[in-house]
């Protein structure tokens, strides 16, 4: 492919970093979810995992975006985040080995580690996004976004499956140890990227002025804030992954292996979509494709909530991943094309707040809704809310609804 002939080494190393970080994070997520539910048997405790991560992430994301745009090397921040996540995984390894903490304090150690993970994640997306734009020419953004999405989704397939198998057939200790090793490999991949990064601006504004510039750009651009808002609220209400341990344990009566399989199911659909779009990028009716894909995702979540067999639930999650894959590629391409080079770190950080934090807030919302409405009704409610969000966005953001990608070049 054209990308790999002109930018072979740098782009492959960036993709390797992304894959390794996703694998490590997903293995930890499966192990932590099973670990917490094993201790508490409480769906709200699963939701609190998301809240524990999103609060520090939300607090640090804008500052991380400013730092990536104005200070030091983008590779430095990506490497630092990988090393720090590895330290978290190592801490959890020591916890399960009995080297730190005890049964009474285990939950506090786990939630504390998750909070630090939120801080580390704040630097990953801005580092990746800015290096992506430095390495690749603009005409390759759409195709490269699909390839990057495929790599990301491949990690989402392999990570939960590996995590579930490691927890089920080995131990939580081994799963956390594997995540530690992957983080070290990710740090090496990031630091070994050899590119000429643009020098940081010498007349950098104050941090709050810089953050304000990024926020004004996003909220004054109907296409950008429309795309971000659509995905944020869809993920906030439509995410059912956080409740999978409860579905596996209480409805399907499977072990952690089943949890790993179902966590990987959406990514199976997404990676198929990413591979297709890398060869057949969408150029016409981009806005309509984005809205339709999110609506399809919401319908799949409703069907998942109604599923009584694990194979049926898996099929619905795969289909939801297909729709989500279209949404992710379209949103990523729109943001890369619409964002000025000097603002990529800050806009990526704002995107992370919209999308990344909505995953964790969605996990908390799912746990709280499951406590109030019941497990199955809460998932159906979330899917219906997603359909409502699509209708509101289509009405409120006509520029996004009518968007053609050539308008952004």
Break the chain into its structural domains and give their ranges.
Answer: 1-204, 206-408
Of 19-28, 198-207, 283-292, 349-358, which has the strongest mean pLDDT?
Answer: 19-28
What distance in Å separates the CA atoms of residue 4 and residue 15, rounded to the nearest whole number? 12
Say if residues 286 and 335 touch (Cβ distance below 8 Å): no
Lowest mean per-residue pLDDT among 43-52, 268-277, 395-404:
43-52
> CB 371: neighbour CB atoms within 10 A?
14
Lowest mean per-residue pLDDT among 88-97, 215-224, 386-395:
215-224
Lowest mean per-residue pLDDT among 89-93, 96-100, 257-261, 375-379:
257-261
Same fold yes or no, 1-204 and 206-408: yes
Q: Is the pLDDT of residue 156 over 50?
A: yes
pLDDT tens figures, 310-343: 888 889 999 998 998 888 888 888 887 888 777 8
**pLDDT classification of 3: cutoffs 50, 70, 90:** very low
Q: Is 72 helix (H, G, I), strand (E, B) or coil?
A: coil
Backbone angles phi, psi at 404, to 5 degrees: -120, 135
End-to-end CA distance of the chain: 22
User: How high is the pLDDT of residue 84?
Assistant: 93
Mean pLDDT of 12-17: 91
Say if residues 69 and 209 touch (Cβ distance below 8 Å): no
Q: Is the pLDDT of residue 363 over 80?
A: no
**pLDDT classification of 379: cutoffs 50, 70, 90:** confident
What distance in Å separates the CA atoms of residue 151 and residue 129, rounded to the nearest whole number? 14
Helix, strand, coil % over all residues of the chain, rounded to 5: 85, 0, 15
User: How high is the pLDDT of residue 203?
Assistant: 61
User: How high is the pLDDT of residue 351?
Assistant: 78
Burial 313-322 (b: 16+ CB within 10 A, else e): bbbbbbbbbb
Angle, helices 141-169 vs 172-191, to 10°: value is 150
Mean pLDDT of 398-407: 81
CATH code, 206-408: 1.20.1250.20
CATH topology classification for 1-204: Growth Hormone; Chain: A; (1.20.1250)
User: How high is the pLDDT of residue 170?
Assistant: 81
Region of 72 please: left (phi>0), alpha (psi -120 to 50) or beta. Answer: left
Q: Is the pLDDT of residue 171 over 70?
A: yes
User: How high is the pLDDT of residue 200?
Assistant: 59
Extended strands (E) in 33-98: none
pLDDT tens figures, 181-208: 999 999 999 998 887 766 655 566 677 7
Of 244-258, 292-306, 344-358, which has the strongest mean pLDDT?
Answer: 292-306
């Amino acid at each position: 492919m054209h990308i790999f002939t002109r930018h072979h080494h740098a782009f492959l190393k960036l993709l390797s970093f992304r894959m390794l970080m996703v694998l490590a994070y997903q293995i930890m997520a499966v192990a932590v979810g099973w670990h917490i539910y094993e201790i508490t048997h409480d769906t709200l405790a699963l939701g609190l995992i998301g809240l524990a991560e999103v609060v520090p992430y939300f607090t640090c994301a804008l500052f991380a975006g400013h730092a990536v745009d104005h200070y030091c090397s983008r590779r430095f921040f990506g490497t630092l985040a990988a090393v720090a996540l590895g330290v978290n995984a190592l801490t959890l390894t020591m916890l399960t080995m009995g080297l730190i903490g005890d049964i009474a304090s285990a939950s506090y150690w786990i939630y504390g580690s998750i909070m630090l993970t939120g801080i580390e994640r704040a630097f990953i997306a801005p580092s990746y996004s800015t290096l992506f734009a430095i390495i690749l020419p603009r005409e390759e953004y759409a195709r490269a976004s699909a390839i990057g999405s495929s790599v990301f989704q491949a990690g989402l397939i392999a990570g939960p499956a590996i995590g579930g198998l490691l927890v089920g057939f080995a131990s939580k200790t081994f799963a956390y140890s594997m995540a530690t090793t992957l983080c070290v490999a990710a740090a090496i991949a990031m630091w070994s990227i050899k590119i000429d990064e643009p020098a940081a601006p010498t007349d950098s504004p104050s941090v709050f002025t810089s953050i304000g510039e990024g926020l004004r750009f996003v909220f004054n651009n109907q296409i950008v804030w429309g795309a971000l808002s659509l995905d944020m609220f869809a993920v906030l209400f439509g995410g059912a992954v956080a409740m999978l341990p409860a579905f596996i344990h209480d409805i399907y009566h499977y072990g952690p292996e089943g949890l790993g399989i179902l966590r990987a199911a959406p990514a199976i659909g997404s990676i198929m979509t990413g591979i297709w779009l890398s060869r057949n990028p969408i150029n016409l009716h981009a806005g309509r494709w984005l809205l339709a894909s999110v609506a399809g995702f919401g319908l799949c979540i409703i069907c998942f909530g109604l599923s009584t067999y694990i194979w049926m639930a898996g099929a619905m999650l795969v289909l939801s991943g297909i729709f989500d894959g279209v949404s992710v590629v379209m949103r990523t391409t729109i943001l890369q094309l619409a964002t000025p080079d000097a603002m990529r770190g800050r806009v990526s950080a704002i995107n992370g707040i919209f999308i990344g934090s909505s995953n964790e807030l969605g996990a908390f919302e799912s746990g709280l809704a499951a406590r109030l409405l019941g497990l199955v009704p809460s998932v159906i409610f979330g899917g219906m809310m997603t359909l409502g969000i699509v209708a509101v966005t289509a009405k409120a953001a006509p520029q996004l609804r009518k968007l053609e990608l050539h308008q952004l070049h």
